[in-house]
Amino acid sequence: MANFSRLFRNALEQMGRFRRNEGGTMALFVALSAIPIIFSVGAGIDYSTANMAKSKLDAVADAAALSAVDHNAISGTADAAQTTATNVFNAEAVNLKNVTIGTVTVTVTDANGGRTAVVSYTATKTNTFMGLMGIPSTAISGSASSAAGLSVNINFYLLLDNSPSMNIAATSAGIQKMVANTSAQGGCAFACHESDPSADNLGNPNGEDNYTLAKNLGVVTRMQNLASATQSLMTTATATEGSNTSQYQMAIYTFANNGLNTIQALTSNLTTAQTAAGNINVLQVYKNNWLTSSNNNSDMDTNFETAMSQINAIMPNPGLGTPTSTPQEVLFIVSDGVDDEANTTCSQTLSGSNRCQQPFNTAWCTTVKNRGIQIAVLYTEYLPLTTNSWYNSWVAPYQNQISPNLQSCASTGMFFTVTTDGDITAAMQALFAQAISTARLTK
């Protein structure tokens, strides 16, 4: 039994030695098999780090593209923005380890009122494991783009009708109050401003004119609303140019009789323009039919064509409004759209005189628009006063032509109407916003 045990132990030892010898062969086989596996894993690691490097470079390219259209760059030239974007990319890309930048191409284009920036790059990422297999690096490339509206510099010329017909009460209730308190005049809704109202025997308390009467009655007129709306517009323009990094300059003129009255010459100081707008007022005449004590002009106090001729001479030729160009030009007209002037060729000439009342002649509108200047028109509706014999005889026959005529004067999409009880401030704000939008889209 003891001998058998020894034999069995010896057999086991022999079997163990055989097994150990076979195990060495397997280890060698496993080691040889591990080589491609290790390189495959290494290649995966290299590939992964290359993708990480590309993701970082793409983020750098995004930042560079955005830098060309951000709040600061958009007010500069395309060349300056291109330099900025290139510098931003290079400054960030240099911090990436084991990455060599090949080419960086930055293209900045200003067109159609907007700016587009495209940043493209090529680079190589040094390989760790694949280099041992003769592949020292991995090529990387990518691009990013961004776009934004350009800052657009615009000169606005406000041409405001301040003829007596514009100083009607602004609301239906105000009109009725004026009519009820002017029975001696047959009921007049207009707050005409006269320096010698006693000459007309208006029948108002203390011999006052209708302008003062309206104030005493607490009646707000269109001209008051127009002055307030113009002042509010300056506040809006200031806020808008700040958010758009644009510059808006304003000039304010009124027109009545035979020429322009300068409220504010063109200025970039919109606070100054806002203060000046407080001086907008209706034309003051001497008395009925008399402009001054020595000038009987038969109340011919609205000459649109002369005003357009004069303001056309003031406005320069427009540019693109970009930092490398002159400003765009926008003419902003507010009026009730009825001429009252000397015109012997007028189809509505009053009997026995050369006094003409008719819708505006829009020939000058065409001249201005042909120069590339945008025209925005706010039509303060000429109120149909059917109880007034003068209106029925001389305005009613062409009442339905006034609005279409003014609309033909305006550039496409830049015509608004305000009726009685309407909000002139809101209408001017809307028209201003449209003018800015149109200026961006058409340049």
Cα 428 to Cα 261: distance, rounded to the nearest angstrom: 21
- Angle made by CA atoms 264, 274, 416, in degrees to the nearest 5: 90
Task: Please give the CATH topology (third level) of the domain spanning 154-168+221-441.
Answer: Rossmann fold (3.40.50)
Instruction: Judge contact between 299 and 207, C-beta under 8 A.
Output: no
- Cα 288–Cα 290–Cα 291 angle in degrees, nearest 5: 120
pLDDT along the chain (443 residues), means of 10: 44 48 50 51 68 91 91 81 94 90 93 84 84 76 85 92 93 93 90 93 92 96 95 93 79 90 96 97 93 89 92 94 85 93 71 78 95 95 81 87 95 92 92 80 45
Whether 328 and 384 have beta carbons less than 8 Å apart is answered as: no
Q: What is the pLDDT of residue 443?
A: 43
The 10s digit of each residue's pLDDT in 248-268 is: 999 999 998 778 999 999 999
Task: Judge whether 114 and 149 are in contact, CB under 8 Å.
Answer: yes
pLDDT in tens, 45-58: 767 888 888 989 99
Domain ranges of the chain: 2-149, 154-168+221-441
Structure tokens at 1: 């039994």
**Does the reported pTM lie above 0.75?**
no
Angle CA(144)–CA(150)–CA(154) in degrees, nearest 5? 180
Distance between CA atoms of 159 and 308, rounded to whole angstroms? 9
Confidence at residue 35, expressed as pLDDT on a 0 to 100 scale = 53
CA atoms of 167 and 134, how far apart (whole Å):
89
Degrees (nearest 5) of the Cα angle 34, 39, 41?
Answer: 95
